[in-house]
Amino acid sequence: MQSKIMYLSDLKFNIDTWRRELRFHLNEMDTFQERLEEIVQREKDPLAFIKLEVFQNRIMIEKNAISKLLHRCRNKIANINNANLNENRDGRLQNEQHTLKEDMRTYIKLHYDLKEDMMDYFLEVL
């Protein structure tokens, strides 16, 4: 039972870390959105507006993805808090953890791709 408690504690730590990272990314998207709004005020090139709109759409999509991942993390924490300590460690919680881990890995890769694209855009228009 002690190993089960430690395992659940480790799972909870991972999920809490992901939640902090997701909240940071959400704040970062707000900062990028503010920067895009500043560019709208001074930009005259129609091509820049097209790219700007694409980034605004990508930010909305990313915020939605963050929201969904945060919801899944909350559900996972609830499952951990209500876990049956007699349940096999290789059971449901571990399988659910693996899926969330892969989704987080994919999200983080896409986030940094977007961030890199936006930073390039900012250098281009500033």
At 85 the pLDDT is 63
At 119 the pLDDT is 95
What does the pLDDT average to over 68-92? 78
Say how many domains are in the chain.
Answer: 1
| pLDDT above 80 (res 6) | no
Confidence label for 88 from pLDDT (cuts 50, 70 and 90): low
| pLDDT above 80 (res 97) | no
At 8 the pLDDT is 78
Which spans in the chain are helix H?
2-42, 46-81, 92-125
Question: What's the chain's average pLDDT?
Answer: 87
Q: Which domain holds residue 26?
A: 2-125
121: closest CA among 34, 51, 33, 27?
51
Max intra-chain CA distance, the chain: 65
Range in 54-58, 77-81, 118-122 the model is least confident about = 77-81
| pLDDT above 80 (res 37) | yes
Report the predicted TM-score, pTM, of the whole model to 2 decimal places.
Answer: 0.83
